[in-house]
Amino acid sequence: MLRPEKPAVDPGILQAAELIHSSSYVVAMTGAGMSVESGIPTFRGKDGLWTKYGQPPMDGFSRFRADPAGWWQKQLNRDMDAHMIELRDALVAAEPHTGHHALTALERAGALNHVITQNIDGLDLKAGLKNLIEIHGNRSRLRCIGCGERTALNDFVQVEPPEPCVHCGGAIKFDTVMFGEPVPTDTMEAAREQIDLASCIVAIGTSASVRPASGLLWIAKSQGSTVIEINPFETKLSSICDVVIRSTAGDALNQLAKLFESPEHNLRDRARSVDPETDLNTDSKIGYGATLNHSNLREYEHDRF
């Protein structure tokens, strides 16, 4: 009788797992491609919103600042760019997919120290990820452009224009960073700190073309970090990557998380018992010893010969 064949594992996945395993501090940078399998379209690429509707004007923030009340009225009347209406409706409907949960599993296994996401959809938080920087903000929050205070919106659909900030009188906008708007300084500094700590970067579902976020990837490389790319298509980052995985975020992250699964240990507890300073619930800067499941790895390697 024929034995059923085990699924083949991409050699790139194995290389990536080894690189992550041997790295002291691993940071993932995710982009719009990370949430495609949750039904949220990207901007660029084959099914991207800009490909469908054309690229919108790049002066969103200056238009908001010139007339915050008028900007909110347009929002509330759905008198917005078509691509923003489609994105907003997709955000309301989206749930994390298995790739978001696999990213959380990698964090829990100690394989991933921090995630910087360019996404505004909040799906990483919904999937239980702890160490996260949302570099372009989160669509379920509001932010004052004067003092920077953020408040929860608790709903993606604002029903009335928000009052000016109670602290400084500044105009209130969505927390999401608009075209032409600087990334808030606290967020940019936190992201840079993670890049400076990183010895390995995993770039997932990003075209690496939105600055300043994408620039962090080149800074990491120039500081000696290795770079792994997970993306079905070539990007401008591909040529500087140490490992390239041409696959969707969901497929690749599920395979990676499987390699870091420990059959007999809870790795979080084990890390704590080795050193109390490595409590995974803190923002500890100490690498906390990911364990690659070598028994899984050997199985896969064996299959390849």
Verify binding: residue 96, ligand NAD, rule CB under 6 A.
no
CA angle 35, 40, 46 (to 5 degrees): 95
Measured from the CB of residue 33, what is the shortest distance to ligand NAD in angstroms? 2
What does the CA dihedral 77, 182, 90, 150 come to, rounded to 10 degrees? -80
Report the nearest approach of ligand NAD to the CB of residue 48 (Å).
6
60 interacts with ligand NAD by CB under 6 A: no
165: partner contacted, choices ligand NAD, Zn ion, none (Cβ within 5-8 A by kind): Zn ion
Q: Which of 12, 45, 60, 110 binds ligand NAD (CB under 6 A)?
A: 45
The Cα 254–Cα 247 span in angstroms is 11
Report, in this order, helix, strand and coil percent for the chain, each rounded to 5.
40, 10, 50
Give the residues across from 30 on adjacent strands. Answer: 117, 204
The answer to whether residue 136 forms part of the interface with ligand NAD (CB under 6 A) is: yes
Q: In 3-state terms, what secondary structure has residue 190?
A: helix
The yes or no reply on residue 119 touching ligand NAD (CB under 6 A) is yes
Per partner kind, with CB cut-offs from 5 to 8 A, the member of ligand NAD, Zn ion, none near residue 271 is none
Residue 164 belongs to what H/E stretch? none
Give SS3 for 199.
coil
Catalytic residue among 21, 114, 136, 265: 136
In the region spanning residues 166 to 225, those forming contacts with Zn ion, defined by CB under 5 A, are: 167-168, 170
Would you count residue 144 as binding Zn ion (CB under 5 A)?
yes
Smallest CA-to-CA distance from 107 within 52, 193, 197, 26 is with 26
Structure tokens at 179: 């075209």
Of the two residues 166 and 274, which places its CB atom closer to Zn ion in the complex?
166
Q: Where are the alpha helices (DSSP H) in the chain?
A: 11-22, 49-53, 60-66, 68-76, 82-93, 98-108, 123-126, 185-197, 213-222, 249-259, 267-274, 294-303
Catalytic annotation on 136?
A: yes
Q: Which stretch binds ligand NAD (CB under 6 A): 9-17, 76-84, 202-210, 215-223?
A: 202-210
Q: Does 31 participate in binding ligand NAD (rule CB under 6 A)?
A: yes
Which of Zn ion, ligand NAD, none binds 121 (CB below 5-8 Å, type-dependent)?
A: ligand NAD
205 forms part of the interface with ligand NAD (CB under 6 A): yes
Residues taking part in catalysis: 136
Interface residue list for ligand NAD (CB under 6 A)? 31-33, 35-37, 40, 42-45, 48, 118-121, 136, 205-207, 209-210, 231-233, 235, 248-249
